[in-house]
Chain A
């Protein structure tokens, strides 16, 4: 079955450490997204990518970086510059947006600071 796989499900980071969250999709979708979800708040867009080798900042990109070297993969790095990284991170993908297709989400990665 096609879908989006995020790993790991739980991740712990030490102060000053960079960590990378994996997101892989086999839906053949062009667009991919990273969101952050905090308690009592809506999903906030970190980065998105419309095609391979291209990505754009979302609303809260500071302290994060991404790459899109393959259509299937869109890893997110949480850098030490992100001062409050504890959150639930969701990756999503969608077909070309000509029809405003809904986004398909992975099961998320919960990041905590040690």
Chain B
């Protein structure tokens, strides 16, 4: 089967670092995206991993291990505006048209 698992909710403190994990089982893996989604709004792209290793973009970093079916999103210097849902999404097959989304992790940043 095809499945993506993420924690449902996490809470962290402003200024801290938080790591959101994602594990997946899917055939035809061709890459993994992370999106941010504020309540009632559109998801927006954060990062993309296709090879093993760490991708860094400012305060956000994402890591992938294809052999372990595992990824994480690391958020540094947390700000209140980072309170949102974070969606892990796996690209299946060639062409990248079929993407499976996880249920998302709701992150609450407290002062």
A residues contacting B by CB (< 8 A) are: 4, 31, 33, 35, 40-45, 48, 50, 56, 58, 88, 90, 94, 97, 100-108, 110
Given contacts A102-B45, A103-B45, A107-B41, contact A43 B98 (CB under 8 A): no
- B97 to A97, Cβ gap below 8 A? yes
- A58 to B48, Cβ gap below 8 A? no
From A43, A102, A104, B48 is in contact (CB under 8 Å) with: A102
From A45, A50, A90, A94, B43 is in contact (CB under 8 Å) with: A90
From B41, B42, B96, A100 is in contact (CB under 8 Å) with: B96
The distance in angstroms between the C-alpha atoms of A33 and B41, with both chains bound, is 17
Shortest CB-to-CB span from B85 to chain A, Å, is 10
Shortest CB-to-CB span from B71 to chain A, Å, is 15
The distance in angstroms between the C-alpha atoms of A94 and B89, with both chains bound, is 15
Size of interface on B: residues with Cβ below 8 Å to A = 27
Given contacts A42-B87, A43-B87, A100-B30, contact A106 B95 (CB under 8 A): no
- B103 to A100, Cβ gap below 8 A? no
Given contacts A90-B43, A108-B40, contact A103 B95 (CB under 8 A): no
From A33, A97, A105, A110, B42 is in contact (CB under 8 Å) with: A105
Top 6 A-B residue pairs of the complex, sorted by shortest distance between their CB atoms: A42-B101, A102-B45, A105-B42, A97-B96, A43-B101, A100-B96
From B87, B96, B98, A58 is in contact (CB under 8 Å) with: B98
